[in-house]
Amino acid sequence: MRLDRLQSCAISVLIIVVISSQFVVAQNSSNASLDVEVRDPSGALVNKAQVQLLSNGRLQAATQSNQNGEARFNKVAPGRYQIHVEAPGFKPHDIEAITLTPGPNRTEISLEIEVIKADVEVAEEAAVRNTNPNGPAFSNVLTAEQIAQLPDDPDEFENAINQLAGPGAQIRVNGFRGGKLPPKSQIREIRFRLNPYAAENHDAGFGLVDITTKPGVNSWHGSFNFGFRDESLNGRQAFATFRGPEQQRRFGLSLDGPLWKNHTSLFLNADGSLFFDAKTIVATLPSGNFTDLAYRHQDD
């Protein structure tokens, strides 16, 4: 009886062991594993790449590739996953969909080399900047407020420009010499170039005065000015016996605007003056001293 009991116990234990082993084998066979091999564009293996396994955008597992470029995931439930791989010096890589079946699974990923971007700012050296004839070290610019304070009379305006520029300066209007100066309302900038040794100075002189006018390509503009003066506020010349007559009348008219908007513009300018004055004549004659006035009349 005792022997029969021992045999029946042994058989029961054996049955339990067999059932347990079959359960374990069945459970293991229902899981999946994934081997990810990471390479660079030349086919070389990439070590220490960060590999993530995601399901519907949620992180399920993460690991790092070994020296053989392999990253392994064990005991993963079969299904649909995504893979995200990052490595220093390479662009991140994503596999949007990979289906894992029960048992071993394997995939290979080739990473692209990351493009290195560098911003280099090159600044002109102070020594070079100060020797540039067109730079601020050799030029002065009148502001709009300073231009507005200059005389309205064309002759006085030109005389003021010459005094500011210095003796022998050449005046250019929009790059051309010898032209008549535009009215102040048409001037955008007056630049005094003070480098007499610049290559653009073909004539002897102290420097250049560049006058740039405003473009009138968007809307019509016009201006009119008139001036008058006479000898009423003048004093008598010390060598003259009486105060000589003097009178000046000046007018100016300008009109500019677009002929073809934003393409071509028209500019018209007219000015004139009428003046007369008297110059004192002082001379010594055999009969004695002679003093008189010489009258001058001019129309422009």
The residue-averaged pLDDT of 73-81 equals 90
What architecture is the 23-110 domain classified under in CATH? Sandwich (2.60)
DSSP string, 253-268: EEEEEEEETTTEEEEE
Q: Which residues contact 76 (CB under 8 A, 6 or more apart)?
A: 31, 32, 33, 34, 53, 60, 61, 100
Report the distance separating Cα 5 and Cα 35, nearest Å.
51
Superfamily grouping for domain 131-214: TonB-dependent receptor, plug domain (2.170.130.10)
Averaged over 215-224, what is the pLDDT? 73
- Tell me which amino acid residue 42 is: S
Specify the pLDDT at position 132: 60
CB 134 within 8 A of CB 207: no
Burial class (CB in 10 A: 0-12, 13-18, 19+), 273: middle
Boundaries of CATH 2.60.40.10 in the chain? 23-110
pLDDT at residue 37 in the model: 93
**Global confidence as pTM:** 0.40
Place of tokens 């009423």: 232
Count of alpha carbons within 13 Å of 168, Cβ hemisphere only?
A: 10
Structure tokens at 150: 């200059």
Compute the average pLDDT of residues 48-68: 91
Whole-number percent of the chain with pLDDT over 90: 15
Q: Could you tell me the pLDDT band of residue 116, with boundaries at 50, 70 and 90?
A: confident
CATH 2.170.130.10 residue ranges of the chain are 131-214
Alpha helix stretches (DSSP H) within 150-284: 154-165
Locate 191 and state its tokens. 């630049």
Quick check: 62 and 81 in contact, CB under 8 A? no
Position 26 scores a pLDDT of 42
Indicate whether 85 pLDDT > 90: yes
